[in-house]
Amino acid sequence: MERNERTSDGSGEDTQATVLRLRLIDGIARRLRPWGEHAWDERVLEAMRRVPRHEFMTGSTLDVAYRDEACPIGHGQTISQPTIVALMTNALRLSGRERVLEIGTGCGYQTAVLASLAAEIYSLELLEPLATRARLRLAEMGVKNVYLRVGDGYGGWPEHAPFDRIVVTAAPPELPAELAAQLAENGVLVMPVGEGEQSLMRFVKKDQVLVREELGAVRFVPMVRSR
């Protein structure tokens, strides 16, 4: 049994989902070279082969859930495109020991991927109904190393800082100062930045200075201020 799958109900849906999921992830790995890297981290691809994306998308057919597309999840928000989840997660360079801050839990899909690749995930979501649904899904899947809170990601999560990795899945106009401050030395922060035109950025903290690298053009929902 795959680690993140619910028990099969015997309908054959799980088998079909697995086939579609493997096809999707293999296609991404074959077609694309990761941004700023020479190779895919095989652990990232393995995690994405395991996590059942369709179980985070209520009311979608398996066919839709395993297309390489972003998709509405309610409240004007979207689940990220699988390619983007793969590229961002790969860019984080996770070894399994990290404490990760995620901003923008959304439906919790990327949270589940991160949870199988790092030690602890602290995830913040601004919209309460999305956070509640994500919390339920992750609990149903038996994911235990995720701490989820409703809150504004601009402030980070100071009680648990510093973080080895920070990943943001909504776009602020510029790098939020609090997030930069909550990144540990040698830590990696991956996030889209910009209004209208957005770039995915990777920042690495070296001697308290952030070294920045532009990974590519992206399109995310804006990172909203709560006040």
Q: Which of 124, 138, 189, 191 binds ligand SAH (CB under 6 A)?
A: 124
> What are residue 161's phi and psi, to 5 degrees?
-75, 155
Nearest partner of 189 among 162, 164, 209, judged by Cα: 164
Query: How is residue 109 written in tokens?
Result: 């899909």
Selecting among 8, 60, 80, 226, the annotated active-site residue is: 80
Q: Which of 169, 182, 189, 215 binds ligand SAH (CB under 6 A)?
A: 169
Could you give the CA distance from residue 215 to residue 202 in angstroms, rounded to a whole number? 7
Give the up-direction half-sphere exposure of residue 193: CA atoms within 13 A in the CB hemisphere.
16
Nearer to ligand SAH, 9 or 98 (CB): 98
By CB under 6 A, residue 68 contacts ligand SAH: no
End-to-end CA distance of the chain: 45
Residue count, binding to ligand SAH (CB under 6 A): 24
Query: How is residue 169 written in tokens?
Result: 């899945």
Contacts for 215 with CB less than 8 Å, ≥ 6 apart? 35, 36, 87, 91, 190, 199, 200, 201, 202
Nearer to ligand SAH, 34 or 104 (CB): 104
Contact map string, positions 75 to 114, toward ligand SAH, x by CB under 6 A: --xxxx----------------------xx-xx-xx----
Amino acid type, 41: D
Q: How far is the CB of 88 from ligand SAH (least distance, A)?
A: 9
Q: Is 80 a catalytic residue?
A: yes
Could you give the CA distance from residue 19 to residue 51 in angstroms, rounded to a whole number? 13
Q: How far is the CB of 178 from ligand SAH (least distance, A)?
A: 11
Amino acid type, 45: L
> What are residue 96's phi and psi, to 5 degrees?
115, -15
By CB under 6 A, residue 221 contacts ligand SAH: yes
Could you give the CA distance from residue 165 to residue 39 in angstroms, rounded to a whole number? 20
Q: How far is the CB of 159 from ligand SAH (least distance, A)?
A: 16
Nearer to ligand SAH, 203 or 220 (CB): 220
Q: How far is the CB of 10 from ligand SAH (least distance, A)?
A: 29
By CB under 6 A, residue 156 contacts ligand SAH: no
Nearer to ligand SAH, 36 or 74 (CB): 74
List residues with catalytic annotation.
80
List of residues contacting ligand SAH (CB under 6 A) = 73, 77-80, 103-104, 106-107, 109-110, 124-127, 130, 152-154, 169-170, 221, 223-224
